[in-house]
Amino acid sequence: MAEVRFKGRIIILAIMVMAVFAGIASRLIVLHLRPTEWVREPVEKGHKFEYKPVGGRGRIIDRTGRILAMDAPAYHIYVDPKYISRNGDPTAVAKYLSMEFSIPESEILEMLSNTRRQYKVVKRFVPGHRVKRFKPVNLGVSYTPRDLVDGVETNVFLRGVGLEEVSIRKYPNGPLMAHVVGFSNLEGTGSAGVEQRMDDFLRGKEGLRVSKQDGRRREIYSARQVDIPPEDGAMVQLTLDQQLQYVVEQTLEKVCRESNAKSAWAIVQQVRTGEILAMASFPTYDPNHYGKAPAEWRRNAPIAFNYEPGSTMKAAVIAAALDLGIVDENDRVDCENGYWVYGGKALRDSHGEGIISVADVIKKSSNIGTAKIALMMGNELLYDSLKKFKFGSRLGVGLPGEEGGIFYSPKNWSKISPTRIGMGHEISVTAMQVLSMMSAIANNGVQMKPMVVRKVVAADGTVLEEFRHEELGRPISPSASRRMRKLLSRVTEEGGTGTKARVEGYSVAGKTGTAQKINPAGGYYDKIFTSSFAGFLPVENPEISIIVVADDPGVFTESGRKIKYYGGTVCGPAFREIAEFAVRYLRIAPDGNRIYVARPEE
């Protein structure tokens, strides 16, 4: 009887065990064949492969198609500390990576010590030419050391080391045109110049790839669900010319070297269109290594540096006075032999003149003569006339950092303000504003908006944006423009202040400027100046305008006297050097009839 009960218990226990296993089996079947969401989600998440490739950044080219900025292949060098600890040689990895990339071995060994990690970047953004000794292989790289063994190259297999392909921004010409082109940072974001202003066009568009991965985190290609390829950024073409830019930059360096100037900057502009053909500053920097340059060197001075222009402002004042009929070029003005007191303040000329014509006021650059003409205009007319030339306003050149200058309204003027504004004091401008004024005088009184970008072209060739020439206004009449061109041409004739700006075979019009710099403590420095020359050519049919500005030029004699700092002395020769190349390179005839900016292939 006991034996029967014992057998019954065994059968019941067996049934219970079988029921448990049957339940487990049925549950496993349900989980595998018809899994619920909470089961399926973490499993699928672990196998999901999602990748968002980014298209390359668009190129920047000059007006003739020469490349100024482009993407270049680069790599992140990374290690898998967990894999190396189990299958590799940490000592060898640290030794060879240290030797190749000048990183302390101790630093690499510290990275490898955290064996729970599977990804650690050792060196970021390594240019392609720096990884030529590394060849990716399965689960590592094959490395060829620099040192030969018995005269033969020997390959070393470094397990757990990998190369992750990325791209870096490359500027093939180094510092050339750096202030206009700008640079993008390591994250691929434009941070200065055209790179910043046109970032939305230049930036590549993201793609999307959704698939599954195996246990080694490799994509299962047959399981790919979504594959949207990335789009490369658009190409931006500038109005600037690389060859002309090079000459301008070399000339500015020469100005600083020979005149001992702290810095210098220049612009070359097409008169009729407003297109900028060259824009440069010195000192400059290399955008490939922008972090090594002082912030001051990276500033685009032609549009971002405010300064009191000095006598170049006389061109705008006298042009407006002629246009308004307040004076005629043959009218006589008493220049007081170089010394005049008005409003209790003395005003001097560097070369005293007596009673001279308005034409000679501009030729001789008389402060007193211009001050008297400004007074004849009256405060409101003087202010309105200069505002028509856009002084005190940004011109919209299309680059970040553009300043509008400082030009207060007449309600903030003192009694002597018009006499000082007329000679280029009590007003701050940028070189771009002064050149735009000169170009307007050259262009029959029509002021064109300065532009540096010609067009934007998508990767497939579609023109996304084409910038058209735009008129800013008509500050003076065509008649006043013609008369003023003749007056400004006399500045470069014998007896004028700009004789050193003359170009053989061409008529040149322009204006010198030499202004004492403001002392933050009050007043002006005695021996610190901003010197400039702005002009255009040929006078009869102007094609290009040029401005050159030098910050604090000049040399001191043994007696402590400062010499060689005048605009005509320092910037006039630089203007001539740039103009002589420009008329040949652009094929401008002496009468200005034709201009060829894009040269045909020869």
Cβ atoms of residues 515 and 307 within 8 Å: yes
Averaged pLDDT, groups of 10, the chain, 602 residues long: 66 81 76 61 58 81 96 90 89 90 91 89 88 88 75 77 89 96 90 95 79 60 65 94 98 96 97 97 95 93 96 97 96 95 92 93 95 96 97 96 96 96 96 98 98 95 94 97 97 94 96 93 90 96 97 90 93 98 94 58 42
Whole-number CA gyration radius for the chain: 36
Q: Where are the domains of the chain?
A: 51-238, 242-585
Q: How many CA atoms lie within 13 A of 222 on its CB side?
A: 1
What local confidence, expressed as pLDDT, does residue 553 receive?
96
- pLDDT tens-place string over residues 544-580: 999 999 999 999 988 888 999 999 999 999 999 999 9
- By the 10 Å C-beta count (0-12 exposed, 13-18 middle, 19+ buried), 25 is classed as exposed
Q: Compute how many other C-beta atoms are within 10 angstroms of the C-beta atom of residue 306.
A: 15
Strand order in the sheet with 276-282: 276-282, 263-270, 544-551, 524-537, 509-518
Angle at which helices 313-324 and 379-388 pack, to 10 degrees?
110
Report which of 452, 509, 517 is spatially closest to residue 486, judged by C-alpha positions.
509
Q: Please, are residues 429 and 306 in contact by the beta-carbon 8 Å criterion?
A: yes
Determine the Cα–Cα distance for residues 579 and 536; give it in Å rounded to an integer.
9
Residue environment code for 350-362, b if the CB has 16+ CB neighbours within 10 A, otherwise e: eeebeebbbbbbb
Token pair 């303040």 in the structure block, residue: 345
CATH fit for domain 51-238, picks 3.40.50.720, 3.40.50.1370, 3.30.1490.100, 3.90.1310.10:
3.90.1310.10
Measure the CA–CA gap between 286 and 276, rounded to whole angstroms: 21
| DSSP β-ladder status, 60-61 and 235-238 | parallel
Q: What is d(CA 213, CA 222) in angstroms, rounded to the nearest whole number?
A: 10
Q: How many angstroms separate the CA atoms of 298 and 552, rounded?
A: 19
Confidence (pLDDT) at 35: 62
Fold of the domain built from segment(s) 242-585: Beta-lactamase (3.40.710)
Q: pLDDT tens-digit profile of 284-301?
A: 999 999 999 999 999 999
The pLDDT of residue 48 is 62
Q: DSSP states of 87-117 as a string?
A: HS-HHHHHHHHHHHHT--HHHHHHHHH-TT-
Q: For 39-90, what is the HEC assignment? A: HHHHHHHHHEEEECCECCCCCEECCCCCEEEEEEEEEEEEECHHHHHHHCCH
DSSP one-letter code for 491: G
**What pLDDT score does 164 carry?**
87
* Contact call for residues 270 and 277 (beta carbons, < 8 A): yes
Cα 570–Cα 573–Cα 576 angle in degrees, nearest 5: 145
Q: What is the pLDDT of residue 266?
A: 98
Q: Of the candidates 124, 118, 122, 121, which has an alpha carbon nearest to the alpha carbon of residue 187?
A: 124
pLDDT value of residue 26: 76
C-alpha atoms less than 13 angstroms from C-alpha of 377 in its C-beta half-sphere = 32
Q: How far apart are CA 382 and CA 317, in angstroms?
A: 7
As a whole number of angstroms, the distance between CA 542 and CA 478 comes to: 13
* Contact yes or no for 552/528 (Cβ under 8 A): yes
Question: Residue 145's CB: how many other CB atoms inside 10 A?
Answer: 15
Instruction: Please provide residue 65's backbone torsions phi and psi, each rounded to the nearest 5 degrees.
Output: 100, 0
Q: What is the pLDDT, as a whole number, of residue 107?
A: 92
pLDDT score of 602: 38
CA geometry: angle 280, 282, 283, nearest 5 deg: 140
The answer to whether 204 and 42 are in contact (CB under 8 A) is no
Residues 550, 229: Cα–Cα separation, whole Å: 50
